[in-house]
Amino acid sequence: MLLSGKTAIISGAASPRGIGLATARRFAAEGARVAILDIDADAAADAAASLGKSHIGLRCDVADKSSCEQAVARVIEALGGIDILVNNAGITQPVKLLEITAADWDRIQDVNLKGVLFLSQAVIPHMRARKSGSIACMSSVSAQRGGGIFGGPHYSAAKAGVLGLAKAMAREFGPDGIRVNCVTPGLIGTDITAGKLSDEMRAKILEGIPLNRLGTAEDVAGIYTFLASDLSAYVTGAVIDVNGGMLIH
Ligand code: NAD
């Protein structure tokens, strides 16, 4: 098993069809104990229970620094330490540039970008003291091509910000044994896109995807598992595309 004896925090992992919960399942199957952090407390508890007894689910709003600090302290108490952090929580909004209000901008930056900063700030001192840790951050193809399918320009900007922030963290904390990497998924079938995709849109999107299918939450979970495990021991500051070839650099 790739994560035997490891402990992991995954943010935004309570949504039943989401990438976070698929990752939690995969981590648990690889031998890790998982803390699911989500803004929805009941869903986080249910998701953790669905994984088995040794996992926990806690409420955490990643956009709130003290909420992150409290949740991380509880995880360290419950699991004894944190080897892996997956900054996965995110929200989107499909609007055009001229429609973005100040409140929309703040909300999208707060969860997608500031959330990565706050949860990382809460976890890194602990990882630094242990001279070891792996952090994986959720960006998006939207950051790379200036728009995905469902994210507005503010979402692209936030996810592009995640790339810069993660690379800066990789530089700063590499000497402390902490690796930081990003994933950039294309279109993945989860609740974030549920009900928004007509048959016509789907056919058009597939024309631009060489592997000729949408991604699954498990496709991304596999990459998070690689980044969390020692298979990627010499990988930091990297960005891994999980997009079926939708964007080939
Ligand atoms: P999802 O909506 O199923 O999951 C997002 C989760 O984040 C939910 O459980 C939600 O409750 C949680 N969340 C929202 N705000 C939060 C907050 N403030 N604090 C803590 N948790 C919060 O969507 P998903 O598709 O599984 O998305 C997971 C991540 O992947 C997001 O960052 C998203 O932007 C990114 N992403 C998704 C796709 C896609 O096509 N689905 C593509 C690229 C990137």
In a domain, 27, yes or no: yes
CB 71 within 8 A of CB 37: yes
Q: Which helix (H) or strand (E) holds 138?
A: strand 133-138
What total number of domains does the chain contain? 1
How many angstroms separate the CA atoms of 179 and 229, rounded? 11
Start-end of H helices in 94-189: 102-109, 115-130, 141-145, 153-173
Give the pLDDT confidence of 81-139 residue by residue, as tens digits: 999 999 999 999 999 999 999 999 999 999 999 999 999 999 999 999 999 999 999 99
pLDDT at res. 194: 73
User: Is there a contact between 141 and 106 (Cβ–Cβ < 8 Å)?
Assistant: no
Assign residue 234 the CATH number of its domain. Answer: 3.40.50.720
The pLDDT tens digits of the residues spanning 202-243 come to: 899 999 999 999 999 999 999 999 999 999 999 999 999 999
Angle (CA) 43-106-182 rounded to 5° is 65
Long-range contacts made by residues 62-66, C-beta under 8 angstroms, separation at least 24? 62/11, 62/12, 62/37, 62/87, 62/89, 62/111, 62/114, 62/115, 62/116, 62/118, 62/119, 63/110, 63/111, 63/114, 63/115, 63/118, 64/118, 65/118, 65/121, 65/122
Per the domain annotation, does 104 fall within a domain? yes
Q: Are 5 and 24 in contact (CB under 8 A)?
A: no
What lies within 8 Å, CB to CB, of 227 at 6+ separation is: 134, 136, 179, 181, 183, 235, 240
Contact partners, residue 147, CB within 8 Å, separation at least 6: 153, 156
pLDDT digit string, tens, across residues 140-198: 999 999 987 789 999 999 999 999 999 999 999 999 999 999 999 999 998 877 777 88
Instruction: Please give the distance, rounded to the nearest whole angstrom, from the Cα atom of residue 13 to the centre of ligand 1.
Output: 8
Owning domain of residue 19: 7-240
Q: Does residue 249 sit within a domain?
A: no
Residues 6+ apart with CB under 8 A from 65: 118, 121, 122
Per-residue confidence (pLDDT) for residue 178, from 0 to 100: 99
**Which residue lies with its CA nearest to atom 10 of ligand 1?**
12
Let me know if residue 23 belongs to a domain: yes
pLDDT given at position 196: 79
Pocket test for ligand 1, best of 9, 10, 11, 15 (most atoms within 8 A of CB): 15
ipTM of predicted assembly, 2 dp: 0.99
Residue 2 lies in a domain: no
Q: Judge whether 212 lies within some domain.
A: yes
Both structure tokens of 105? 């901008």
Q: Is residue 46 part of a domain?
A: yes
Tens of pLDDT, residue by residue over 38-71, are 999 999 999 999 999 999 999 999 999 999 999 9
Task: Give the whole-angstrom CA distance, residue 174 versus residue 181.
Answer: 11
CB-CB contact of 88 with 140 (8 Å): no
The alpha carbon of 90 and the centre of ligand 1 are apart by a number of angstroms equal to: 4
1 belongs to a structural domain: no
Q: Which atom of ligand 1 is nearest to the CA of 67?
A: 19
pLDDT at 23 over 90: yes
Q: How far is the CA of 187 from the centre of ligand 1 (A)?
A: 13
Per-residue three-class SS string for 5-25: CCEEEEECCCCCCCHHHHHHH
The pLDDT, as a whole number, for residue 197 is: 83
Band of the pLDDT at 13, cuts 50, 70, 90?
A: very high
Show Cβ contacts of residue 128 under 8 Å, excluding neighbours closer than 6 positions. 173, 176, 178
